[in-house]
Amino acid sequence: MRALAAADTTLDEPPIAMIDDSDTRVRRAVASNPLLPPDLIATLLEDEELAEAAAANPALSDVKLHTLLDRAGIPRLSLEWELNA
């Protein structure tokens, strides 16, 4: 139930206080909540336990996402390929 609350995108404020919950599912739900401030999402990307959930956060900036993809060694598509697709 707490994980559902942590994932709720209709909250008036981000569920930041729940990031310290004892349940991993709750912490992961918080990390993926798009209400989180960008600097907290960036911090959670460095947390081994929460990085995957933070990377799936729809509020993750394009720059941060590309940085993650570059770090993972995933090649970028060329603009020429995109135009011809």
Task: Give me the tens of pLDDT residue by residue for the chain, a chain 85 residues long.
Answer: 999 999 999 999 999 999 999 999 999 999 999 999 999 999 999 999 999 999 999 999 988 988 888 988 988 876 665 566 5
Q: Of 14, 12, 81, 24, give the one whose Cα is nearest residue 2.
A: 24
Report the C-alpha gap between 81 and 85 in whole angstroms: 6
pLDDT computed for residue 77 by the predictor = 75
Q: Which amino acid type is present at position 41?
A: I
| pTM, rounded to two decimals | 0.81
